[in-house]
Amino acid sequence: MMNCAELCQVAGNFLLTQSPLHGAVCGACAEVCNACAQSCEEVGDMDECVKVCRDCADSCEQMATSAGLKGAASNKTKRAGADRH
């Protein structure tokens, strides 16, 4: 969870400074947030963490996609497949 929080902060900083690399950082952030949500779900009784991580992942995926980062949406597809199990 700490790594997820740190990367979210970094992604926010890249957006605030209007870095041309924000799409790549947001794509990585989405992947980490999806992994964190899955981990929190497996631990159990961490519904708020799961929701926040998934919301962040969705936002980061959108930003990565809008920045033209191909394959950014594939993380969402992977998570959706994992949600079915």
The identity of residue 36, as a single letter, is C
pLDDT digits (tens, 9 = 90+) for 24-70: 999 999 999 999 999 999 999 999 999 999 999 999 999 999 998 75
Q: Model confidence over 2-32: pLDDT tens digits?
A: 999 999 999 999 999 999 999 999 999 999 9
Q: How many CB atoms lie within 10 A of CB 19?
A: 13
Amino acid identity of residue 25, one-letter, is: V
Structure tokens given for 52: 């926040």
One CATH from 3.40.50, 1.20.1270, 2.60.40, 1.20.950 for 2-83: 1.20.1270
Q: How far apart are CA 19 and CA 24, in angstroms?
A: 10
What residues contact residue 49 under an 8 Å CB cut-off, 6+ apart?
1, 36, 37, 40
How far is the C-alpha of 55 from the C-alpha of 53, rounded, in Å? 5
